[in-house]
Chain A
């Protein structure tokens, strides 16, 4: 029988609703972390997480709590990301838990991502414990928010703890609810080992560390374990749990517990998240259900700004992939950008995060191509191709049908912005499904949208048109036939492959014009005039010209001092390296980036 004093739970919250702050308070209250060591957002230990105030990687930590019944409980808190792009991280964590604390902001109410994640938790049979946070704010309206939770999600919420994680109000009540409302784990410690891998990461000293939830049986140091999907066998070196800031080798783990195993595993490829760990000498009958494999939805080419850094970029991507199995990449070549990688991401935020980590943690200067989704193209020959790189888009004459991915989108918004949002969705080729009032002032809008309309800047525009109030979540629906065209950009008559993209025919003209304008702004005047053209097939649909420069001269070279002139020449030589030479045209990195942000 699994330990009845264990509670495994996660926290679900919309960004900024206070998930990490509540986690911090819980760590403090349970004295897992001494107050003097306390840092804000303790579990978000990547710089980028702290700066953006988001959680990217799930983490687990073990706490001890003495409840009002006088008993000591073990809490395993699994911190999860809130953003839609990291849903897969959320669903992984959920399988390791029996309960979830749903944190809702007392003035803002439920948001789209909260909704999506809560439904995920309910689907996974988790007990959901609602908590209303930020009651200290003047605009707080916990009553309304509790009603909203009941109406929208359909779980009792009127007695939800009303807390302020920031001010430390009513945290005890949350801790008690964890004890009373969240069930203890089930599972038989005497059965053969059956454990779910819910995460893994690479440690340069210990090799791959796997995070597991033990469902049945036990595991201890020296055991031979088998990872059922890959069949790989390892000997356990350490088994234990996660303190707030370190791994604690306990020597063993048993049913109901959440912890880590290290077993000198060299390759992250051996440890698929969702795989089942069992004992090699006394294996269980069948593996746990595991996870759906997550497929990247957004693709983009990533190139080093300096071609010589290609090897560094590869190393960096490999290292990032060790801790982020959802990142995919393969080498690709662009005439314009040289050698780089086609990378697949779960969404736009994921893409941004990866780029930022590459630049910051690995000190790389990158050029990124416009994000693309995967298009499904059926050729006249009957062959079906999936295209994630516009360069590979087949000749239109060979295409029988082209299809693009659609998503089902939930947009939660104050009702005053409904008009703005409908206009935006209309503009993005959205199909209105229905609209549901959450209460008098808030609305849930359902739309079907083409994924390629939201991968650029949809979220940014949505935010700006709703003064930041609307929230948005989406899930894949499938493919629908679409009038797609490949838009090429030509500089000085030559196609720049890195700037090509696939777009709906009706939107090609407007986009083409904007891109041409952006490029004109961002390509500096140079020795020769640079014609910019946007074309579909051979037909030019937009054009601009970067006029030739008129003045670039060192008028005076005084007293025979030519050092300045030479320095200038050296500088030009250097500057040239930072530009991409496309025929006679020099294109700065910014120009490639500028076309990614057309509305700003």
Chain B
């Protein structure tokens, strides 16, 4: 029994090792990164998120069935795209975990006493001898080496060895960890994105001026107090603005003017200025005038009737109430229903209820474009003419809640830190060994850098030149 269990553990271990080894590979990194690059192109060529018929029309029945099966129409949410991202994440995590402890240990380890051969094998190295006559005793040479390296802002450790001295200098150790920090930041950003996709939502609301609307999936309302446009002097639109008020439990709790680039934020929900327009089913007010039927003459001044506010026409027994509006008049023959053909104000029509001494006598639809139709008020000498109207502005707000967003920004800041370390701080190490020789001192000096070799070559030759002149002069 025990034997079998042990075997099982062993098999599991080898499987685990194999998986680990699979993900612990830079070749996998390259494969996944380049695959992601290539497949992402598909999503910019095939239009995303269109209705299914669109693909059949564009690509034909056969190809479109492939497009749909492979999920090219919603590529960035396709399972295989997601799989690639999971591979990338696993690759990042495994590589980072695998390499980090070694790196950490190596960065703490300060080997001061190294053999001359080790120094000679470094990427940059030099060796020369100083005569005793020129002041070349081990102690003073060592101090000069340290001085020069200190001037270059190296941190230094040194020790005396049997036949001389050894110096180790280093700087920019943190630069080695830049890549790890970038990896952590990438995982953070992915985490934020996943949280957002699970716990976030998007919605859209449109609010007419002075109307209050329930915010979807929230326990508060939003009122539009005003919508207006700002213009440049040249007449181009400069900005869309909405004055919004958040209403909670019947109370105004927050008022804010929003525009594109300046959303309203309340309880983690953001409201964005998205679009705007005129309501298609109501207006603010209409301008009407009476006409004498027989004389075919306008009577008096035009008067303004507000939406659903009965208005008594001066000098008559008549009153009118503005009770209906459609932006683009349509009439369904079958259902006898009036409906808007489009939200565009192509053929605006109002319904006016006319009262004679508070008794409704007619309710005609009046047309702005065809003022003569249905204009007559029965049993009177008047025609009622629709002269103009002021539409009701509405504002369109995108609404989002994404609790992952802040995690994404935190990830971004971590990434910036990682980049600074990875690309602008370089880990440099210099070893020096000073040894007594027959009639002087042998100096071995060598160094290496983790990247940016050309820059270091220059620094290193400066150090050796400096050392040569100073040591031999003194």
Asked if chains A and B come from one complex, the reply is no
